[in-house]
Amino acid sequence: MSQLTIDADYIASLDSSFLDVEDAETLPPECYTSQEFYDFEKEALFTREWLCVGRADWVPEPGNYFTTKTVGEPIIVARNQAGEIHAMSAVCQHRAMLVAEGKGTARNFLCPYHHWAYSLEGDLVGIPEMQRTCKFDKSKFGLPKFKVELWNGFIFINMDPEAAPLAPRLTQVTEAIAGYNLENAKDERPGEAPEFPWNWKVMFENNNDGYHASRLHHGPLHDFIPSGLASFPEADPADAGYLRYNGTLHPDASFNPTQKALLPVFPGLTEEERNRATFANVPPSLSLVMTSDLVIYLILRPTGPESLEMDTGILAAPKAARDPAYIHKLDTIQATAEKIIAQDFHVDENVQIGLRSRYAVRGRYSWQEGAQVQFNRWLIHRFREFVKTTPPVAAAAE
């Protein structure tokens, strides 16, 4: 096996993906297939960046909690008795048993193995039969705690205790989607998250690819949002997110057989916003697809170099559920969305197969793929910062 050494020289080889879209080329295939590169990303991105883990209304009452995981880390998110949302590792600090699974309501988290008990804030509060253990300080054995920040009703965590706040680096995205008032939107919470056999970046790229819209999705369910009307606002690579806009052929276009909004339009939208779809992204975990009457959110949670789980949910204007036909209209929208998504998933799976091929190359971009270069810049900026202060990661490449 060859050795893949991820150091400053390797990251410098990615510079051609940082160029303007007219000159840029795609990332190397091994960035999507290599276990070693995935291990690098876990340290360079996922343990340092803000990760979306769910919605605040998933834990509406004190004592409510849910569990999730990303890059192999089991996580608990809970609302304590004071109404504050906390996030922590689910790994018992005794023998590594998970102290919680699924979702529910609890006064504390009791490890089922040996009954070590932890508060809703993650503090160790119960330790049976530990009185003979020498120099045991229970204050040092709480569940590892993560920083928490709420943004537009989404819960973000950061495993880095020194991480800078999220919101100040999301000003452009926050202003662009303010009319949706997502903090107060009605949430249709996702069910069980399936696992998909492709790299998390393949998913992120496809969701922001304006180039394929008029080709892969050609037909009456999607033709109102042509690729030629895509635009890509400038974004600083140091920012926490970026945008893609896509003009529509008529106002209040939406993904259903009528091509028009079936649910109430978000009341805060301007005329300009009602004549486009907005794609808002907070890598590496949150992507939003926004039309006048509906927002689809995707929460990406990698499980390996070539696999991920994804929570997919829907947000609507607060008064949408007052309509007696709300559920039926939602069913119509979801049936249409599933047809479009099935096309995307088929492509994602086959792209991943192609990336493993010896004939996979670093390709070139169309102007309609401006969001891909924005994503590349977001990634490479962080890779550069990481290798400045971290020893090279060397391992056997596949």
Residue 18 in this model has a pLDDT that exceeds 90: yes
Q: Do residues 64 and 78 make contact, with C-beta atoms less than 8 angstroms apart?
A: yes
Q: Give the span between the Cα atoms of 147 and 149, in whole angstroms.
A: 7
What does the pLDDT read at residue 222? 86
Average pLDDT over every residue of 353-378: 97
Our CA angle for 1, 364, 225, nearest 5°, is 125
As annotated, the residues of the chain forming the CATH 3.90.380.10 domain(s) are 169-377
In this prediction, residues 280-307 reach a mean pLDDT of 97
Integer Cα distance of 245 and 223 in angstroms? 16
Name the segment(s) of the chain with CATH classification 2.102.10.10.
51-158
Question: Can you give the pLDDT at residue 393?
Answer: 57
Amino acid at residue number 280? A
What value does the mean pLDDT take over residues 327-345?
92
pLDDT in tens, 153-212: 999 999 999 999 999 999 999 999 999 999 999 988 777 788 999 999 999 999 999 999
Distance (Å, rounded) from C-alpha 321 to C-alpha 300? 27
Over 60: is that where the pLDDT of 398 sits?
no
Tokens of 58: 């998933």
Neighbours of 213 (CB within 10 A): 21
Output DSSP code: residue 331: H
Specify the CATH architecture of the domain 169-377: Alpha-Beta Complex (3.90)
Quick one: 51-158 is in which CATH superfamily?
A: Rieske [2Fe-2S] iron-sulphur domain (2.102.10.10)
Close Cβ partners of 91 (under 8 Å, ≥ 6 residues apart)? 74, 97, 98, 99, 143, 144
Percent of the chain at pLDDT exceeding 70: 98
Q: Distance between CA atoms of 335 and 330, rounded to whole angstroms?
A: 9
Model confidence pLDDT, tens digit, residues 242-255: 999 999 999 999 99
Average pLDDT for 115-129: 96
Q: Which helix (H) or strand (E) holds 107?
A: none
Contacts of 363 (CB under 8 A, 6+ apart): 25, 26
